Amino acid sequence: MNNKIKVLIIDDSAVVRKILSTTLSKHKDIEVVGTAPDPYIARDKILRLKPDVLTLDIEMPRMDGLTFLKKIMTYHPIPTIMVSSLSQEGCDVTLEALEIGAVDYIAKPTSRLSSDVKDVVNELYTKIKIASGAKLKTNNNSKQQQYNKDSSCAIHTKPEQHNYTLFKGTHKIIVIGASTGGTEALKEVLTMMPPDSPSIVVVQHMPELFTRAFAIRLDSLCSINVKEGKHGDSLTPGQAIIAPGNYHLSLRRNGAMYHIETSQKPPVHHQRPSVDVLFDSVAKYVGPNAIGVIMTGMGNDGASGLLKMKEAGAKTIAQDEDSCVVFGMPKEAIKLGAVDRIAPLHKIHEHILAFLNN
């Protein structure tokens, strides 16, 4: 019993509370210690039951989930998984929740079919296990420079300054893979990239709609342009392409130009998009002109692909354990010997820029 993960379910729907509590309780390593129909009742149960993980609905009476999450992360931080609708508004609010400090999210089932509900609950079970060992977000005041579209100057200056004027060869390509905790980690790296950056391609494990909302959000914050990728898109400097949810993304070369291809081939490492699919194609077509970065996330997606990139002459970087929400994907890449440099999150952009100028 002591080894069980204690879960509190917060949802205004009695049906959802019943389904989640009943199905999650079937797992021997989960103990649903209680449920709550709104944040006020949840607050009292959190103090009394001391759960390890919360599941939190976004839309609730008396106090919405986002407001409650802010209070939780301020006064009593607990790993929290948001329950979100698959709508544009739901995606936007979920991304805000991740920014506040939620570890992860699940999308509500789109129907009441038992198979649909089962898939959601199985996903939730996996994410509860991950969340129970995740590191909660802390404010990082060590940012060095940050760019935005309104100014070519840094918003924050740093004690140790480097002059990264024009890069040596904009033909280089940067590829990044991330999963749990990756939305905020990617935001930190991409907002630090100057407007003349080489092309950047990103795989973040996210479902459809969420990747589009994520790209729009990043585009509003970054100096570089950010968009959700479409089949046939060309890679251009000063732009980051986010792999679309539910589609693998790979690179192809046509003469001196690169473009992306998307497909719905079977998942790799249970993921679509998969980091390994992107990294494998980069090893094949880009070779020593690539820089690969693997960041926070559970599992081993991207590890073997990063090794192939390194063997093809690419430079490789892994996020360090202390700054990861979940030190799974970087750890596996490091174990394989696929990594040239290990860096804390707030230093990753520096290593990218240094590689570009070598």
Q: Please list the active-site residues.
A: 179, 205, 301
- Rounded CA separation 167/106 (Å): 40
The tokens describing 194, both together, are 């100057």
- Rounded CA separation 240/215 (Å): 9
User: Could you tell me the CA-to-CA distances from 196 to 108, 151, 353 in Å, in that order?
Assistant: 40, 13, 11
Q: What string of H, E and C letters represents the secondary structure of the chain?
A: CCCCEEEEEECCCHHHHHHHHHHHCCCCCEEEEEEECCHHHHHHHHHHHCCCEEEEECCCCCCCHHHHHHHHHHHCCCCEEEEECCCHHHHHHHHHHHHHCCCEEEECCCCCCHHHHHHHHHHHHHHHHHHHCCCCCCCCCCCCCCCECCECCCCCCCCCCCCCCCCCCCCCEEEEEECCCHHHHHHHHHCCCCCCCCEEEEEECCCCCHHHHHHHHHHHHCCCEEEECCCCCECCCCEEEECCCCCEEEEEEECCEEEEEEECCCCECCECCCHHHHHHHHHHHCHHHEEEEECCECCCCCHHHHHHHHHCCCEEEEECCCCCCCECHHHHHHHCCCCCEEECHHHHHHHHHHHHCC
- Rounded CA separation 258/262 (Å): 14
